[in-house]
Amino acid sequence: MTTVKVVRDILEANDRLAAENRRRFDEAGVHVVNLMSAPGAGKTTLLERTIAGLGRELRIGVVEGDIQGSQDAERIERAGAVAVQINTNGACHLDANMVASAVAELDLASLDLVVVENVGNLVCPAEFKVGEHAKAMILSLPEGDDKPAKYPLMFHESRVLLINKMDLAPHVSADPERIERDARAINPQIEVFRVSASTGEGLEGWYDWLRALHRA
């Protein structure tokens, strides 16, 4: 029972810090997306594409969450956006406190949109708010069409599902229809875009969704 209490306390403390982050974002007029996926689903590649596709319309900043290293933040900066790296030193998700520290390094007044790229993990990131306006997730097609049933919380919490690596559809057995159907069974409001971040296929819907978030 003690363990349960500790976990609940951690989540409550996190929720309070997330609400503070959110107030800071709202005051600065910045919209924030918490982007989640399994390792290797294509979060950074999607962001590189998004910076190329939307970077002239929206001023984009990225908070990069990784266990260690700064390869992803370097990729984002090469793509032309400002990036702050968080190293979680073993933790399998970002929390509101980590994001508060990272955001202190950003000049929020000079940004329209901040994407928080979470640690690659389909489980815990969905439990920890970081102050975002919306959660978005990527499922890459080669991961298989059984993932909504196996990791329902992430599908439940996300406002957007990007089914990525659609260019591999001819070579894998996973069925994007089944992914979409099972995701909607968990979360009827979820917006689904079938994309390939590496070829650029299908990204216009995602860009429109980000534009609408920015106008909201």
Which residues contribute to the site for a copy of itself (CB under 8 A)? 6, 38-41, 66-69, 71, 90-92, 119-124, 127, 140, 142-144, 146-147, 149-153, 165, 167-168, 171-173, 198
Closer Cβ to a copy of itself, 1 or 109, answer by number: 1
Closer Cβ to a copy of itself, 71 or 110, answer by number: 71
* Residue 137 CB, nearest approach to a copy of itself (Å): 12
* Residue 30 CB, nearest approach to a copy of itself (Å): 27
**Cα–Cα distance between 124 and 210 in angstroms, integer?**
24
Strand 31-37: give its sheet, edge to edge. 82-87, 60-66, 113-117, 31-37, 134-140, 160-164, 191-194
Six token digits for residue 172: 């894998």
Cα→Cα distances 59→105, 108, 204, Å: 16, 10, 18
Closer Cβ to a copy of itself, 111 or 163, answer by number: 163
Report the SS3 class of residue 58. Answer: coil
| AA identity, residue 27 | E
Alpha carbon distance, N-terminus to C-terminus of the chain: 42
Closer Cβ to a copy of itself, 100 or 124, answer by number: 124
Closer Cβ to a copy of itself, 28 or 126, answer by number: 126
* Residue 23 CB, nearest approach to a copy of itself (Å): 25
Q: What is the number of helices (H) and of strands (E) in the chain?
A: 8, 7
* Residue 96 CB, nearest approach to a copy of itself (Å): 15
**Cα–Cα distance between 144 and 125 in angstroms, integer?**
20
* Residue 146 CB, nearest approach to a copy of itself (Å): 6
* Residue 211 CB, nearest approach to a copy of itself (Å): 29
Closer Cβ to a copy of itself, 22 or 178, answer by number: 178
